[in-house]
Structure 1
């Protein structure tokens, strides 16, 4: 049975912070050209070429195209890009590359090679829940529970342990940072549902044979009784 939940996490400074609340102030960052992300060098070079020639930020007299490509690859794409927090994932233009065609473009096409290459984009991001999330039914007053039950800790029975935490994404594009007026929608668009268009499966089965009915946008399942810290253990080398 699917149950709406609230997720909490703790930091060294504060315990039981609800994701999405005013106290939820964790800032997250992504590095595009991270070694483990393995972004193809051709994508980085093509994106740098477009930015150099079309963005108007770099005057040709300031640096050559080759120099800018190297700066973009070795410096710019290795900077930390802010992407929001746990309740909102932002993917700004610093995290996209251009992967469109560069050959076989019709001679009568209105777009040149640079524009054709920029017409298809690949966006890079990452998301995770806190290492040890605490799960309760949505709307639960944790402070009141702690007051009436002699306190609150990680083992309190109010926390849900059985089942999965399902992370549902609502994808939108925005302009000029206006979150309240999305430019494009992925699911609630007037004429089409992109999840269905791409073959999203609403019935899935896990490795234990349990069947689940999904909603459009359900992307990630987390075990409610486990932590990412379970994947690591301290060992002393000999």
Structure 2
């Protein structure tokens, strides 16, 4: 609960003579009102930190064939959570042709099937087992010049179904991510510190001792955990670390809660290598003699993956997200300076990845013979 007051210019009581809502009595010099408020957290600092596509290897890696990251990342925009410009934010989203500054790769997009790795931060009480970060992707097609944007439906195949629509009841494939600390540039201490704070805040972790849990917890994400289906990304405890302040903490503040008050979530996503796009709402059952080369499928351009819908789920309450990147108290895409005016492309806030509509990871695997 907070109290707000408005003082008259001729107040001589130092605000001690007050009246609720309005100073109707001339002897009172201040109007006061009390109101219950909720302290809101933040979701911010989304960035793309790595792309599996060999065409982006020299951009994200210090040396070809080596895991150490170059330090180059794509930020939401040139400004931080408070709207302040930061010089380090040289590369801004989306990942698209014209952004790769390595010689010979300037006009590269991303081939279908290659994973894009990212991270995002939150502030608030999102350090419990049933807290999640959820992203609901949407998909758009543009032509070779980035024009004529239209929303699309995507399809892919499985051994039992030649056309699975992304977001349909049949779209059940779950994809696991192994958190490679070295390739991500993550210090193991980040996760052992998280494990220690988690253990103490919860009064233990099942049958593990604290020392055992600090060894076990970092291994969970490194061994692989499911993080997405094509229509939804859901990041949970194994891929979340605590990155709050650890120094100069007041004695009255619990140090573990201080560390846990800021969270970093690690994720990845890709579109299937055999992905096909059609204008949204197209009824493929009405198409005759349908094949992968049928003209209904959009090929001559790019598929844009949009992550505008990022939300934070508190205590398993998926019906009422606690925070959104486009929240009522602040639009992170706008605050961080997302730029929709880039190279003449038709972009929208939340556009993150630009995939080729007609180039696939499988081209790299099967594009050359053995002789």
Relative distance call for 1:231 and 1:35 in structure 2 (3 A) is: farther
Residue 179 of structure 1 corresponds to 318
Question: More helix per residue: 1 or 2?
Answer: 1
Residue 71 of structure 1 corresponds to 216
Higher relative contact order (CA 8 A, sep 6+): 2
C-alpha distance in 2 between matches for 1:227 and 1:33: 24
Assess if the C-alpha contact under 8 Å between 1:9 and 1:134 holds in 2.
Answer: yes
How much has 1:167 moved relative to structure 2? 0.8
Residue 133 of structure 1 corresponds to 275
C-alpha distance in 2 between matches for 1:104 and 1:153: 64
Q: Secondary structure of the residue that 1:104 maps to in structure 2?
A: coil
Q: 1:29 aligned to 2:195?
A: no
Residue 220 of structure 1 corresponds to 353
Runs of 4+ in 1 over 4 A off after TM superposition: 234-238
Q: Secondary structure of the residue that 1:143 maps to in structure 2?
A: helix
Assess if the C-alpha contact under 8 Å between 1:33 and 1:73 holds in 2.
Answer: no
Match of 1:100 among 234, 244, 269: 244
Q: Secondary structure of the residue that 2:287 maps to in structure 1?
A: helix
Say how many residue pairs are matched: 223
Q: Secondary structure of the residue that 2:158 maps to in structure 1?
A: coil
C-alpha distance in 1 between matches for 2:228 and 2:303: 20
| Structure 1 residues without counterparts, runs of 5 or longer | 206-210
How much has 1:67 moved relative to structure 2? 2.5
C-alpha distance in 2 between matches for 1:181 and 1:12: 37
Assess if the C-alpha contact under 8 Å between 2:217 and 2:238 holds in 1.
Answer: no
Q: How does 1:34-183 map to 2 (within 5 A)?
A: 36-58=183-205, 63-74=208-219, 76-107=220-251, 110-146=252-288, 151-169=289-307, 170-183=309-322
TM value normalised by structure 1: 0.84
C-alpha distance in 2 between matches for 1:174 and 1:17: 28
Q: 1:232 aligned to 2:368?
A: no
